[in-house]
Structure 1
Amino acid sequence: MVPAKSKPFIIVMTYGLTNEGPGSGARRRPAGGTNTNTTVTASSTNAPGRGPFGGGANPFTGAAAVFEKVLVGELIPYIDANFRTLTDQPNRGMAGLSMGGMQTKIITLKNLDKFSHIGLFSGGVINTNDVSNTAGFREKVKVVFASCGSRENPGNINANHAALNSIGLKNTAYVSPDTAHEFQTWRRSLLQFAPLLFRD
């Protein structure tokens, strides 16, 4: 249940992999999802030669690229056509958990004309390189949120939070107490993320 202090929004939770995905990844049941004031989705772009963890190729890029086509080309237009949504970029965000968080990072960074709020639940971080290498990031992104369980890697979340603060980028980090890579972490993350959405 979303807290009463949250503004009304629609959560669209979808399967983050399609049957067209590459290799065995297409057959795995993902833990991805999306949400937005209109719709919440996930996406991100990395600088050439950089993966989401600071180096190397991003292993989630292939699956995210296929999902991005469905999300941007089919799902968002369907939601906007069939539900009473605010269809502009300031009123749409994307969040995902686990692999869905990485998909959110990849897709949102490539589509900042569509997403203004980004939530990564146990799915990596938006780092300082992402901010500096993504055109218009500071102007277009309203919320950057990253979380994990205390039994995952909270040091990375907290260090990244401090690094973003050091370059003047407002962001929120949340560590769920006494949880790991599990749904209790992600439920609590949503509870923290929801009140931040669509405030301006």
Structure 2
Amino acid sequence: MKNYSYIGISLVVLVFGIWAVPKIIDKVSAPDMAEIGTVPSFSFTNQYGKVITNQDYEGKVYVAEFFFTTCPTICPKMNENMIKIQDEFYGNPNFGIASFSINPEYDTPEVLKAYAEKYGVAIPNWHMLTGDREAIYELANKGFNLYAAENKDIEGNFEHSGYFALVDQEGVIRSRYDDFGNPIAFYNGLDKKDLEKLKEDIKNLL
């Protein structure tokens, strides 16, 4: 019996060149990823004063987080790690980041621009976003299911999830499965191992 899979790959090599084989193998062996939900429509203003909506992320894989610039606890570490993700995919126009401020009254475009410069935001598709408070909290808690709230009894006066969400080219939140076959849903923005998993899964989607 002829090995038709081998013949098929051989034909691809003849037509497209040897470089095509690794791409085919990677595509076949790429792990399945869970679909967590679809990101609802949003419209906010970025650090340059430009209105950014879902349409600006269409066709791109992006990572989303919720933070605020005066955060005294987890935000600095989250954004240091986000910079590492930026650097991993630097120069790829099909990758982006969305950082939504949960303290929009303070985090004006000017404040966000200074914060972005401080941390080394360097890719054009990393938008630090501010806007209507209720819309941001609705997006966080219901759209992404990433907790965010104001709490005057804690340091910094706000509390939020330290997790990152991975979104595919069609606006669907995606994640890998754990060892028991359950979707992890989100990636711990403070954990080195989760950061490596996130990088791998971004590459998978790209």
TM-score by length of 2: 0.26
Q: Which has the higher strand share?
A: 2
TM-score by length of 1: 0.27
Say which structure, 1 or 2, has more relative contact order (CA 8 Å, 6+ apart): 2
